[in-house]
């Protein structure tokens, strides 16, 4: 199997940064889509896939929850990566000469104060790392890019300012996916169990299903619902809970959940990342 880790996006994307920070022993493999990153692992082209699942500022990453149950992969790790936005430009460019920056539309509002105080106009680009690559090929004395430090290093751009985001708590949670995993592992900072489920079509089914976690003292850190197949009546839930399925309390809670659901799919049992604290 190839010693690589697949991610969605261009080299220099924040997912690339997550790969470098979390698994520096593996070669990052850029993929055009989340589906392509998953397929790279399933085919053996990559050992792992690094997939963003949620951001502290913008919430859930679209499509990821839909893809996970049928991916054929399991969650083996989680990683919390700080989103640090850098202003970069061609070598020798002075920050006072920058009049326009390009970036993904999600990044520009996060730097609104920084840009306004310097009279810099933000222009949307399909991809921040791609915008960095374009600027490296054709530098302009009054143009810059907002992207990760990894993008500047990848494309040979000069960082004019670091941490230009208005808020300093922006972070993205990534899930590391693999074909196989050891469910017996135990982490130094606890364990997380992730699963999706559909409740039975009976009154108060969700309330009753969740009751088992409360009565057994199991902390549920995430519960999100989303439609399945465009059907308003087919709602699936994604959940993260603290603990291991072999822990007596979680085992009892999952047994009670099973009674009130039509389907439960275990997505992974993995060590909790210290970053979630």
Q: What amino acid positions are annotated as catalytic residues?
A: 172, 174
Burial of 241 from C-beta contacts in 10 A (0-12 / 13-18 / 19+): buried
DSSP state of 13: S
* E runs forming strands in 9-135: 27-31, 48-55, 59-60, 74-82, 86-89, 100-103, 121-124
Tokens describing residue 58: 């913008």
State the distance between the two ends of the chain, measured CA to CA, in whole angstroms. Answer: 34
Residue 76 and residue 146: Cα distance in Å, rounded?
31
Q: How many CA atoms lie within 13 A of 28 on its CB side?
A: 24
Q: How many CA atoms lie within 13 A of 182 on its CB side?
A: 5
Beta-strand relationship, 158-161 and 100-103:
unpaired
Tokens describing residue 169: 């708590």
Burial of 190 from C-beta contacts in 10 A (0-12 / 13-18 / 19+): middle
Tokens describing residue 184: 């017996």
Beta-strand relationship, 191-199 and 48-55:
unpaired
Residue 163 and residue 86: Cα distance in Å, rounded?
6
Tokens describing residue 3: 């010693």
């Amino acid at each position: 199997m190839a010693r690589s880790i697949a991610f969605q996006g261009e080299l220099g994307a924040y997912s690339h940064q997550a790969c470098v920070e979390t698994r520096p022993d593996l070669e990052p493999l850029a993929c055009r889509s989340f589906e392509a990153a998953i397929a790279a692992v399933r085919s053996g082209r990559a050992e792992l896939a690094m997939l963003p699942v949620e951001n502290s500022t913008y919430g859930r990453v679209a499509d990821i929850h839909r893809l996970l149950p049928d991916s054929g992969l399991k969650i083996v790790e989680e990683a919390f990566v700080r989103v640090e936005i850098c202003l970069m430009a061609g070598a020798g460019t002075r920050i006072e000469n920058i009049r326009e920056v390009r970036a993904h539309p999600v990044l520009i509002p996060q730097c609104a104060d920084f840009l306004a105080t310097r009279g810099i106009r933000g222009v949307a680009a399909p991809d921040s790392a791609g915008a960095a690559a374009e600027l490296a090929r054709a530098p302009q004395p009054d143009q810059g890019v907002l992207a990760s430090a990894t993008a500047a290093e990848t494309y040979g751009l000069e960082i004019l300012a670091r941490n230009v985001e208005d808020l300093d708590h922006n972070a993205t949670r990534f899930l590391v996916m693999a074909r196989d995993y050891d469910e017996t592992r135990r982490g130094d900072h606890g364990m997380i169990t992730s699963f999706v489920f559909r409740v039975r079509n009976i009154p108060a089914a969700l309330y009753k299903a969740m009751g088992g976690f409360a009565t057994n003292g199991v902390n549920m850190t995430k519960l999100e619902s989303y439609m399945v197949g465009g059907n308003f009546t087919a709602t699936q839930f994604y959940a993260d809970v603290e603990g291991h399925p072999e822990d007596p309390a979680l085992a009892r809670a999952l047994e009670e959940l099973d009674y009130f659901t039509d389907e439960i799919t275990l997505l992974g049992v993995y060590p909790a990342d210290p970053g979630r604290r």
